[in-house]
Amino acid sequence: MTTTTRAFRSASLVLWGSLLTYALGVPGTAPAPTGASRGGAARVEMRDVMRWLDLDRNGRIEAFEAAAAIRIEESYYDEDGPEGFSQSEILDLFEERREYAREMARDLIAEYDFDGDGTLSRAEASFELLASFWELDRNRDGALTEAEIRHFDHDSVRSYVMGEEAAIWLGIDPDGDGEAPLAEIDPEEYDVAALDLDGDGTLVRDEVARYYARDARGATFEIAGRYAVMNGSITGATLGRLMRILVEEPQVDRILMEEVPGTMDDVACQEAALLVHRHQFHTELAPGGEAASGGTDFFLAGWRRKLGEGARLGVHSWAEYDALGEREGGDLPRDAPEHESYLEFFRAIGIDPEFYFFTLEAADAYGMHYLTAEELIRFGVETGDGDVDDGGAQALGDEEAGDQ
């Protein structure tokens, strides 16, 4: 283990020890709070700590994962750049998260409480809540109160799977017969061919759920010499996995993307992509490979970029969801403040911000537009300085590859 790696892990353990002290309310080396935080919080619950730092939701917190969680949080809260968190800022952070949970609970009840009794029954609960209904219903009375809904983990795998499955299925199975032939689905409106896991040309609901459950595990990286071969969607855990490669695999300078269909978290995706750009990793899309949505943003962050033969890059509009509905980036005027973080990202990686507005108009959030040869040239997508046709292809067959 390198000195850098030991220091990295030691710093994370110090952070973990401090948070553990707060959570359990026991004496420790961390100083006790000297005053009330902005939100008046005096204690951090272990559940809150795990939701913050356990990005892959596997019940364990690893050093690089914790570092990634902190960096992602910094991008939300620190406008002047990464400076870490003081004790009072950590307490404020968790109070803000609790207030957000309260607001979401109130919004969900306002939207779905059809009988007006102030609670949500199973028949009234949203698709995301249904996945965790009995876990949340602590008194087993068959109804969720605002206090119970506050404990709902909106970033959990179950929440993601149920939400994505419901949104897609309602659109592709309008007659409700439980089957959706691909031949009857407009790919420009719903790009769902990859969800046909058994390849029979017809989607059933279980296939959609299994696809998104697999998708939620996040992108993996296999090390093959100077290459990190990437497959899967970008999640909060992706940044930590890239940090591990940066520290423990210093020979890696190229990311060979095979299938990267998108992201579950735009902020986490941008932070992972910015790390790629700042450390001058090259990105290559393997022959016949595909990257879409956040996967395309990640590819564009490469210091140099190359597309293999038959590779495709997909783009579409982003969408925001909350208890009261959804809206898409393409529905907003060009000067709307919601665009700014995306524009800053593309400026930071050297891509014309006009590309961002192009993606919003190319396809809605449920569709996908694949860049044409003319569009690839127009936006300078490919720099041409890569090894997809030789080194990259060789990396795909390297039997000594290791998982990250």
- CATH number at 304 reads 3.90.226.10
CB-CB contact of 380 with 351 (8 Å): yes
Let me know how many helices (H) and strands (E) the chain has, helices first: 16, 14
178 and 40 assigned to the same domain: no
Would you call 292 helix, strand, or coil by DSSP? strand
Strand pairing of 325-328 and 305-307? Answer: unpaired
pLDDT in tens, the chain (404 residues): 444 444 444 444 445 444 444 443 433 334 444 444 444 444 667 777 787 887 777 778 887 888 888 888 777 654 555 567 777 777 887 888 788 888 888 888 888 889 999 999 888 887 667 667 777 888 888 889 988 888 776 666 566 666 667 777 777 887 778 888 888 887 767 777 878 888 898 988 788 777 777 766 789 999 999 999 999 999 888 999 999 999 899 999 999 999 999 888 888 899 999 999 999 999 999 999 999 999 999 999 999 999 999 999 999 999 876 544 578 898 899 999 999 999 999 999 999 999 999 999 999 888 899 999 999 999 999 996 544 445 555 555 553 444 55
Per the structure, the count of domains in the chain is 3
The pLDDT, as a whole number, for residue 20 is: 46
Measuring CA to CA, which residue among 323, 55, 270 is closest to residue 163?
323
Would you call 314 helix, strand, or coil by DSSP? strand
364 and 282 assigned to the same domain: yes
Range of the domain at 228: 220-403
203 and 237 assigned to the same domain: no
The pLDDT, as a whole number, for residue 158 is: 61
Please count the other Cβ atoms lying within 10 Å of the Cβ belonging to residue 105. Answer: 21
CB-CB contact of 37 with 91 (8 Å): yes
229 and 363 assigned to the same domain: yes
Q: What are the φ and ψ backbone dihedral angles of 230, each rounded to 5 degrees?
A: -110, 135
The pLDDT, as a whole number, for residue 190 is: 76
188 and 282 assigned to the same domain: no
In a domain, 378, yes or no: yes
241 and 326 assigned to the same domain: yes
192 and 289 assigned to the same domain: no
Beta carbons within 8 Å of 381's beta carbon, 6+ residues apart? 300, 305, 307, 313, 371, 375
Would you call 224 helix, strand, or coil by DSSP? strand
CA distances to 141, 356, 399 from 264, in Å: 33, 18, 30
In a domain, 135, yes or no: no
202 and 226 assigned to the same domain: no
The pLDDT, as a whole number, for residue 386 is: 47
Beta carbons within 8 Å of 245's beta carbon, 6+ residues apart? 221, 223, 228, 252, 404
Q: Final residue of a domain: which of 75, 95, 115?
A: 95
Q: Tokens 């995306």 identify what position?
A: 342
The pLDDT, as a whole number, for residue 152 is: 76
41 and 163 assigned to the same domain: no
What residue type is assigned to position 287 of the chain?
P
Task: For the chain, give percent helix, strand, coil, nearest 5.
Answer: 45, 15, 40
Distance separating alpha carbons of residues 44 and 88, to the nearest angstrom: 11
242 and 389 assigned to the same domain: yes
171 and 211 assigned to the same domain: yes
Supply 97's token pair: 């998260």
281 and 372 assigned to the same domain: yes
The pLDDT, as a whole number, for residue 194 is: 77
Greatest extent of the chain over all pairs of C-alpha atoms, in Å: 65
57 secondary structure, DSSP code: -
Distance separating alpha carbons of residues 150 and 29, to the nearest angstrom: 31
The pLDDT, as a whole number, for residue 41 is: 42
CB-CB contact of 351 with 388 (8 Å): no
CB-CB contact of 297 with 269 (8 Å): yes
Q: Could you tell me how many residues make up the chain?
A: 404
CB-CB contact of 284 with 305 (8 Å): yes
In a domain, 152, yes or no: no
Q: Final residue of a domain: which of 95, 129, 144?
A: 95
Measuring CA to CA, which residue among 160, 227, 264 is closest to residue 404?
227
CA distances to 49, 60, 62, 106, 387 from 57, in Å: 12, 7, 11, 25, 35
